[in-house]
């Protein structure tokens, strides 16, 4: 199945059509995005020279408005109950909620590193703090989203909950903050800094900060009432599914990204977790959440203490295991598989230009037919067919994240890939963990796009804020 057929099939199944990239979008762009440090976009990191572009620093008054959005570091609840139970092997593709957490039942669904005491003649108590306490780029763990507390036992993070509203109405918009395009604001609020979000305006809503640091959004709503459902393909080829429906659907104006007009046009990643409901309708501080009212990745929500606990997803970035959030996708198929919100406005992101000048995206690599035999007991388990076969997440591979690279963006350009029949027959198929390993396998003819098509952008993006690097 080619990418073109994937888009066509999506449209026929009731999904919004995503146009294929133009031929210009397929040309290799050799200029890459440098880092935006202290308001200055530095030059290219590759052989092509990119003229310096100076961003206007925000004023002290604008910074003061953003600081109003700062909240105390959120603490997790102590009586957390499971968000969803997998009652049988046939129900997880219709289960509402986040699905199984990052701490899986076997090595194929649990990427948490072993302690350093394994194989050593000293107890764990001997080992001192990890090197990341001195330099976050060294051996971790290192938490990157610092507004809340990671619960390693449950594979969740608890972060501040915000209550904004839709302009011209009293309709409440409950949302979170995860990333921002201004380094100073990121440092003040404990958010991830993403220079690339500077170029996400086409796919961003607009809004204004009020005196309490909450956002008044001009447009964009989400219906959380739909029921998520997927009917997988046949055993061994579960992806693509026969049918699908996402559990929450945004209107044409919804994107998690929002440009703050009255505070220097800074762009936040502010995914919505509930809409047009009162606090007493979404008060589930200990779990057992009503997913007809809130985002499927919510494990617990406390609108009294203004916190929300979210499911963490396993993945890799340049060989290192990571945990991230999955909040929105630009097409319904992706939203259904990801247990997140279909966000149509995200479809305006420029895709296929990873690391070129003015690119808002970074790449995420998603296997369609990775190893799935043995389910979570298989340490090489990976891919969408495995996800649809056993309900656990696919162990995707992310590009650059903070502390590893300068080109992080929470807007991930999905690059679906398939192992060739020859690679499978010769036993070469396995779990891949970093970008250039995958690109080398493509170059060597072991990996292609789905159905043997070209390896390239699949034409959709996923909003996946990074939370923690595990080592």
SS3 percent helix, strand, coil of the chain, rounded to 5, is: 20, 25, 60
| Cis status of the peptide bond prior to 315, with omega within 30 of 0 | no
Q: Which two tokens stand for residue 409?
A: 């963006």
Cross-strand bridge partners of residue 242: none
Query: Helical H runs in 313-383?
Result: 332-338
Decide: residue 306, CB within 10 A, 0-12 exposed, 13-18 middle, 19+ buried.
Answer: middle
Integer CA distances (angstroms), 345 to 8, 249, 258, in order: 19, 11, 11
The Cα angle at residue 190 between residues 308 and 260, in degrees rounded to 5: 85
How large is the C-alpha radius of gyration of the chain? 21
Cross-strand bridge partners of residue 290: none
d(CA 251, CA 124): 51
Q: Which two tokens stand for residue 80?
A: 């957390």
pLDDT for 82 = 53
pLDDT for 146 = 98
d(CA 18, CA 25): 14
Q: Which of 322, 202, 189, 160 is nearest to 263 (CA)?
A: 189
The Cα angle at residue 17 between residues 11 and 22, in degrees rounded to 5: 130
Strand order in the sheet with 307-311: 149-151, 156-160, 307-311, 298-302
DSSP track, 321-340: EEEE---EESSHHHHHHHTS
Decide: residue 92, CB within 10 A, 0-12 exposed, 13-18 middle, 19+ buried.
Answer: buried
pLDDT for 19 = 36
Q: Which two tokens stand for residue 308?
A: 């929300």
Query: Helical H runs in 141-230?
Result: 183-189
pLDDT for 15 = 41
pLDDT for 57 = 81
What is the pLDDT tens value at each position of the chain, 471 positions in all?
Answer: 333 345 434 443 444 333 333 333 333 332 333 333 233 333 333 333 333 333 568 999 999 999 999 999 999 766 666 544 443 456 899 999 999 999 999 999 999 999 999 999 999 999 889 999 999 999 999 999 999 999 999 999 999 999 999 999 999 999 999 999 999 999 999 999 999 999 999 999 999 999 999 999 999 999 999 999 999 999 999 999 999 999 999 999 999 999 999 999 999 999 999 999 999 999 999 999 999 999 999 999 999 999 999 999 999 999 999 999 999 999 999 999 999 999 999 999 999 999 899 999 999 999 999 999 999 999 999 999 999 999 999 999 999 999 999 999 999 999 999 999 999 999 999 999 999 999 999 999 999 999 999 999 999 999 999 999 999
Decide: residue 89, CB within 10 A, 0-12 exposed, 13-18 middle, 19+ buried.
Answer: exposed
User: In 10 A of CB 1, how many CB atoms?
Assistant: 16
Q: Are 389 and 239 in contact (CB under 8 A)?
A: no
Integer CA distances (angstroms), 189 to 201, 309, 396, in order: 21, 18, 28
Phi and psi at residue 87, to the nearest 5°: -75, -25
Which H or E run includes 8?
A: helix 3-12
pLDDT for 304 = 97
Q: Which two tokens stand for residue 12?
A: 């026929």
In the block, residue with structure tokens 């509930």: 274
Q: Which of 377, 404, 410, 134 is nearest to 268 (CA)?
A: 410
Whether the model pTM is above 0.85: yes
């Amino acid at each position: 199945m080619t990418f073109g057929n994937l888009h066509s099939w999506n449209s026929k199944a009731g999904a919004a059509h995503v146009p294929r990239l133009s031929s210009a979008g397929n040309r290799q762009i050799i200029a890459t995005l440098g880092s935006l440090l202290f308001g200055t976009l530095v030059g290219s990191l590759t052989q092509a020279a990119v003229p310096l572009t100076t961003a206007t620093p925000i004023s002290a008054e604008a910074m003061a408005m953003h600081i109003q959005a700062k909240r105390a570091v959120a603490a997790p609840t102590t009586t957390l109950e499971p968000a969803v139970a997998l009652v049988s092997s046939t129900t997880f593709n219709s289960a509402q909620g986040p699905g199984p957490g990052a701490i899986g039942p076997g090595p194929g669904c649990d990427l948490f590193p072993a302690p350093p005491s394994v194989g050593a003649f000293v107890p764990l108590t001997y080992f001192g703090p990890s090197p990341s306490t001195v330099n976050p780029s060294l051996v971790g763990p290192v938490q990157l989203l610092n507004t809340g507390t990671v619960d390693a036992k449950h594979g969740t993070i608890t972060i501040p909950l915000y209550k904004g509203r839709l302009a011209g109405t009293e309709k409440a918009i409950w949302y979170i903050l995860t990333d921002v395009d201004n380094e100073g604001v990121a440092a003040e609020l404990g958010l991830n800094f993403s220079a690339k979000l500077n170029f996400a305006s086409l796919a961003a809503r607009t809004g204004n900060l009020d005196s309490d640091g909450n956002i008044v959004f001009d447009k964009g709503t989400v219906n959380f009432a739909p029921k998520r459902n997927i009917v997988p393909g046949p055993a061994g080829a579960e992806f693509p599914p026969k049918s699908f429906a996402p559990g929450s659907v945004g209107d044409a104006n919804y994107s998690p990204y929002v440009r703050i007009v009255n505070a220097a046009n800074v762009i936040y990643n502010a995914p919505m977790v509930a809409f047009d409901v009162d606090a007493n309708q979404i008060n589930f501080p200990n779990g057992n959440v009503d997913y007809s009212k809130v985002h499927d990745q919510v494990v617990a929500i406390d609108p009294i203490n203004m916190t929300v606990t979210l499911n963490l997803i396993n993945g890799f970035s340049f060989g290192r295991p990571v945990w991230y959030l999955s909040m929105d996708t630009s097409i319904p198929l992706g939203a259904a598989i990801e247990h997140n919100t279909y966000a149509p406005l995200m479809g305006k992101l420029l895709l296929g230009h990873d690391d070129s000048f003015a690119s808002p995206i970074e790449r995420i690599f998603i296997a369609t037919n990775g190893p799935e035999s043995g389910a979570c007991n298989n340490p090489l388990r990976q891919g969408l067919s495995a996800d649809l076969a056993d309900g656990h997440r696919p162990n995707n591979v992310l590009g650059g994240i903070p502390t590893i690279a300068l080109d992080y963006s929470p807007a991930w350009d999905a690059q679906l890939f398939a192992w060739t029949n020859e690679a499978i027959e010769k036993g070469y198929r396995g779990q891949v963990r970093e970008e250039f390993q995958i690109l080398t396998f493509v170059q060597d003819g072991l990996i292609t796009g789905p159905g043997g098509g070209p390896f390239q952008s699949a034409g959709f993006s996923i909003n996946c804020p990074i939370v923690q690097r595990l080592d």
